[in-house]
């Protein structure tokens, strides 16, 4: 799949861990890890919105198109 999520990089840049992000966006730490490690097959817009609010970013900062 050529779409990659750059959540790990943004979390590191903002100094926020999996447990804190999970608590602040209202999902489990396991689900944050699934997103962070690129194992997610989909993401809800409500989750994407919450991540963007907490990390003060745009969806385009989180999603990358990697061809090949």
Q: What domains sit in the chain, N to C, each tagged with a CATH number?
A: 3-65 (1.10.260.40)
C-alpha dihedral, 60 to 62 to 59 to 18, nearest 10°: -170
pLDDT, average across residues 31-52? 96
Per DSSP, what are the bridge partners of residue 4? Answer: 64
pTM: 0.91
**pLDDT above 70 coverage of the chain, percent:** 99
Residue 11: φ, ψ to 5°: -65, -45
pLDDT, average across residues 8-36? 97
CA distances from 61 to 11, 28 (A): 12, 22
pLDDT computed for residue 1 by the predictor: 66
- With cut-offs at 50, 70 and 90, classify the pLDDT of residue 67: confident
Per DSSP, what are the bridge partners of residue 3? Answer: 65
């Amino acid at each position: 799949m050529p779409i990659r999520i750059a959540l790990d990089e943004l979390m590191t840049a903002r100094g926020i861990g999996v447990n804190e992000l999970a608590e602040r966006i209202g999902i489990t730490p396991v689900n944050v890890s699934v997103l962070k490690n690129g194992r997610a097959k989909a993401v809800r817009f409500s989750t994407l919105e919450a991540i963007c609010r907490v990390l003060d970013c745009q969806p385009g900062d989180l999603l990358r198109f990697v061809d090949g």
